[in-house]
Structure 1
Amino acid sequence: MITNNGHKLAFYVAPGRLPAIVLDAGGGLDASYWKKIVPVLAKSTGSEIITYDRSGEGLSGDVPGPWKAQNAVSDLAAGLAQLGATKNVVLVSHSLAGEIATYFVRQHPHWITRAVLVDASLPEFYTDSETAKLVAANEQQIAAIKGQPQTRATRQLLAIAEDYGPAHLAYHQQAWPQNVPATAIVSSQTPFTTASDAQLWRQAQQEFVSAAPNRRLVVAQHSSHDIPVDRPDVVINAVQETVKQVR
């Protein structure tokens, strides 16, 4: 258990050698999300594998107020610092964790040697028009949740929604550092059911990869947004290749 800014966070470590592989799950998910992947990577790479429960998930404590990626960066950095994983880290981030990864590598550029972004939420996606569309689409759902008895899961949803528009307009202005190589894995289905949103998601992934020569795009065929569950082999292969490039 790691303490940061007054709350506790649960980190889980499979011992091994460098580079350490850090797995960060998407919104509403905890370390157990990687259960199909951790044992395979531990055996095939021999690397130290680190997973954790973000605040409000799993065994980690709740934090009141709106969810902020910068606070999540602080939590992850505190855990990795205490575990001594502050160099040669391969960061694997799914969905919402892509926002944490983007801010993290900007703040700690010498900690992360390479990244694998798994259908990650990337800055390129959050244009003014798309952000406004998402905020409007979420309003009805958020209103319904507010009228229900609150659970830990609904409190987390409300925390993410509270500052969603301004937070993502600011996120749109961020850029992944040119010196940190990355593999972007995009699902064939994307997180969206509407064709226009799905196309913009794919376009954002392609724009991200095209912005630097040390990035590549992998398509996870026959997969929903939950690539680590539907196609763990795609994630495992990408991480294995990344580790080979570090060693």
Structure 2
Amino acid sequence: MIESDGHRLAFHVVDGHGPTIVLDAGGGEDSSYWTDMVGKLHAATGATIITYDRAGLGKSDAVPGPWDVESAVGDLRAGLEKLGVTKDVVLVSHSQAGEVATYFTKEYPELVSGAVLVDASLPPLYTDEETARIAAANQPAVDAAKKDPSTPQNRQLISTAESYVSMHKAYHEVSWPDSVPATVIVSEKTPFDGMPEDAQLWRDAAASFAQQAPNRTLVTAKGSSHDIPNDRPALVLQEIQKMASAQS
């Protein structure tokens, strides 16, 4: 358990050598999301593997108020500092964790040697029009969550909704540092399965992000839903291995 800005966070570490691989789960998920991946990844790379629970999830303390990506970045930074991780971090970030990765890498480019962004939320998606569409589409789920705010997943959905529009308008303007390589794995079905226009915009955003620098690679997870780490675990493992080997 690590203290950060008055609350405690659970970090889980498998010691190894070379780059430190940090696995960060998507919205509403905690470190247990990566349980099946950790052992295989450690066996394949020998690297130190870190998973953690963002505030309000898993064994980490909840923080009241709207979800704040900068607070999440501060929590990750505090955890890595206290674990003695000062360089050669490979971030593996799924879905909403892509936002944490983007702000973290922008703030600490010297700490991050590479990233694998797994169907991650990326800045090019969030035009004003698309942000408003997503917020409206999510509203029924938010209303349902408010009727049962006892679960961590519902609490996070509510807190994220409170700041969603303003946060993503700002996120649309954030740039990933050109010095940090990234592999972008995009799902074929995307989180907008059944919403063809939004699904295409999600895929287009991944492609646009990948095209913004020569050290970025776009990989499509054929046949996969948004849940790529469970639908295509071998593909995710392969891309993490590639990135970790390149940064060793």
Shorter-normalised TM range = over 0.9
Q: CA deviation at 1:152?
A: 2.8
1:76 corresponding residue in structure 2: 76
For the residue of structure 2 that corresponds to 1:36, the secondary structure is helix
2:36 aligned counterpart, secondary structure: coil
Matched residue, 1:50: 50
SS in 1 for 2:18: strand
For residues 195 and 210 of structure 1, the distance between their equivalents in structure 2, rounded to whole angstroms, comes to 22
Identify the residue that residue 232 of structure 2 maps to in structure 1. 231
Identity among equivalent positions (%) equals 55
Matched AA of 2:174: Q
| Counterpart AA for 2:245 | K
Q: Secondary structure at the match of 1:209?
A: helix
1:151 aligns with: 151
Per the normalisation by structure 2, the TM-score is: 0.97
Distance in 2 of aligned mates of 1:33 and 1:187: 18
> 52-61 vs 139-148, which deviates more?
139-148
Instruction: Measure the CA separation in 2 of the matches of 1:12 and 1:48.
Output: 10
Stretch deviating more after TM superposition (148-157 or 201-210): 148-157
Tell which deviates more after alignment, 142-151 or 237-246.
142-151
What is the distance in 2 between the residues matched to 1:6 and 1:156? 19
SS of the aligned residue for 1:37 comes to helix
**Greater shift in the superposed pair: 132-141 or 108-117:** 132-141
TM-score calculated relative to the size of structure 1 = 0.97
Q: Which runs of 4+ in 1 moved over 4 A?
A: none
Name the structure 1 match of 2:222: 221
Closer/same/farther in 2, CA of residues 143 and 213 from structure 1, 3 Å limit: same
1:3-82 to 2 correspondence within 5 Å? 3-82=3-82
TM superposition shift of 1:207? 0.3
User: What do residues 115-164 of structure 1 show as CA deviations (whole Å, max 9, x unaligned)?
Assistant: 00000000001011100111122223323332346433221110011010
Q: Tell me, yes or no, if the aligned pair for 2:23 and 2:91 is still in contact at 8 Å.
A: yes
Tell me the secondary structure at the aligned position of residue 223 of structure 2.
coil
- In the alignment of these two chains, the number of paired residues is 247
Matched, 1:207 2:176: no
Aligned to 2:175: 175
Deviation at 1:221, TM superposition (A): 1.2
Take 1:36 and 1:218, find their aligned partners in 2: how far apart are those partners? 22
Contact 2:29 2:153 in 1 (8 A): no
Aligned residue for 1:199, secondary structure, equals: helix
Aligned to 2:112: 112
Q: What residue ranges of structure 2 are gaps of 5+ in the alignment?
A: none
Displacement of 1:84 in angstroms is 1.1
Deviation string 1:152-182 (CA, Å, 9 cap, x unpaired) is 3221110011010010000001011111000
